[in-house]
Amino acid sequence: MTHRRILLIIGGGIAAYKAIELVRLLRKAGHSVRCVLTRAGEQFVTPLTLAALSENKVYTYLFDLKDEVEMGHIQLSREADLVVVAPATADLLAKMAGGIADDLATTLLLATDKPVLAAPAMNVRMWLHPATQRNVATLRGDGVTVMEPDEGEMACGEYGPGRLPEPEAIKAAIEAALVQGTIVRPLGGQPDFAPSRHRPLYGRRILVTAGPTHEPIDPVRYIANRSSGKQGFAIAAAAAEAGAEVLLVAGPVPLPTPPGVVRVDVETAREMAAEVEAGLPVDAAIMVAAVADWRAADTSAQKIKKDGSGEVPPLALAENPDILASVAKSAKRPPLLVGFAAETNDVIAHAQAKLARKGCDLIVANDVSADPMGGETNRVHIVSKAGIDSWDRLPKEAVARKLMEKIADELNTRVPFADD
């Protein structure tokens, strides 16, 4: 399966030692794991152990100024694909159900817009107590997945339900949820901006392209590039959060559809061009996709095989449609047209040339030799006729949100709404 980002919150209980094995299993499966350790959890496992196994910094305190400058508790809660609480103690479940945010773990849980899975661990009497059962029912009603605890002998000597599920079972629940989409996102699609008409892109229609295109050579091989689609999908998500009606035309990438976004999947450049044309008119088109410049002129119906002669079979290429330039020349050209440029050298110069050649309004340029395709961060330069605005390196989600602020400002200038 696709490797995903897990934020693991470790509560204070004797079962916390099992979190060490859970981290090991998740890392072995290729997932990225960031650990948040509560003060009570530190009594059972150490940050050093978790850092060594996760190969990531372990977060502990809410009011760590250095971490707030570098990451921020809000950003930390948004960068994961899934938030896992294991062990979820009775205290943590109660705070989650009541919306209490008095430490880093509970603040992250209240601030996140990502799905949450909790694996309970507590004394049998605590688990069966009406207060805990009410809290579990509340959380499930809010869309949080709360696993059933295992039944067995407790560390305290009692017997019954309340044991933390085994790490293998928690890992299986995590992967099943990520693959099958069985976890409900309790805050999925909830905007980070003000509601209704006060959201900066409310009433706007935005078209976003994302991912690579695959141009078939034969039934087995194709021409493509290394685009992961992450930046384009982050931009589509940010536009929806900002209130826009979003159409996402996506190349072949295994990414989930952002909440509130209409998605159309394509494979080739010609398919993408057709869907973009069909999606017009819009207020803004943000062309993030890394479209293949070339395709095979003649696609073989059968797999091309080596014949033992050592000669390379001929591969004639044909130029793909230039989607960005075509939209710029279209009678339905959007008021704001944004292109992307992934460069390996002379980034600014190439971006300025592309801006003039393509006829768009903005070029978002980045150096893929410094920020390889498929990574989690980007350092971009916004190139326009007015000049160049270079941004610091940011997570791709933060780049998307900042770009939406700029696009909202541009649209308010170019096509302002009439006053009510």
Distance, CA of 34 to CA of 5 (rounded, Å): 8
Please state, in angstroms and rounded to a whole number, the distance separating the CA atoms of residues 123 and 132. Answer: 11
Angle between helices 130-141 and 90-98 (to 10 degrees): 50
Alpha carbon distance 334, 410 (integer Å): 12
Identify whether the C-beta of residue 407 lies closer than 8 Å to the C-beta of residue 384.
no
Give the rounded percent of residues in the chain with a pLDDT score beyond 70.
Answer: 90
Distances in Å between the Cα of 279 and the Cα atoms of 31, 32, 261, 324, 332 are 36, 36, 13, 14, 10
Predicted TM-score (pTM) of the model is 0.55
212 and 335, same domain (yes or no): yes
pLDDT number for residue 10: 95
pLDDT for 35: 94
Give the chain's mean pLDDT. Answer: 87
pLDDT, position 317? 95
Is residue 249 domain-shared with residue 291, that is, in the same domain? Answer: yes
Q: What pLDDT sits at residue 169? A: 92
Please check whether residues 176 and 243 belong to one and the same domain.
no
The reply to whether 334 and 359 lie within a common domain is yes
Q: Phi and psi of 304, rounded to 5°?
A: -75, 120
Per the CB < 8 A criterion, the answer to whether 326 and 285 are in contact is: no
Q: At what angle do helices 167-180 and 18-28 cross, to 10 degrees?
A: 40
What CATH number has the domain bearing residue 108? 3.40.50.1950
Parallel/antiparallel/unpaired status of strands 284-287 and 205-210: parallel
**Domain annotation covers residue 419:** no
pLDDT at 193 over 60: no
pLDDT for position 281: 95
Do 226 and 134 fall into the same domain? no
- Give the structural domain span for 210: 196-414
Q: Is residue 186 part of a domain?
A: no
Residue numbers annotated as active site: 156
> Does 156 share its domain with 213?
no
In this prediction, residue 113 has a pLDDT band, given cuts at 50, 70 and 90, of: confident
Final residue belonging to a domain, choices 151, 180, 209: 180
Asked if the model's pLDDT at residue 195 lies above 50, the reply is no
Long-range contacts of 99-103 (CB under 8 A, 24+ apart): 103/38, 103/39, 103/61, 103/62
The pLDDT, as a whole number, for residue 30 is: 87
67 shares its domain with 126: yes
Note whether 176 and 203 are same-domain residues.
no
Retrieve residue 331's tokens.
Answer: 């009678």
pLDDT in tens, 305-346: 888 888 888 899 999 999 999 999 999 999 999 999 988 899
Half-sphere exposure of 86 (CA within 13 A, CB side): 34
Residues 176 and 238 in one domain: no
Any domain includes 18: yes
Among positive and negative, which fits the CA dihedral 398, 354, 243, 80?
Answer: negative
pLDDT band at 407 (very low <50, low <70, confident <90, very high): very high
Strands (E), 240-353: 245-250, 261-265, 284-287, 294-296, 317-319, 336-343
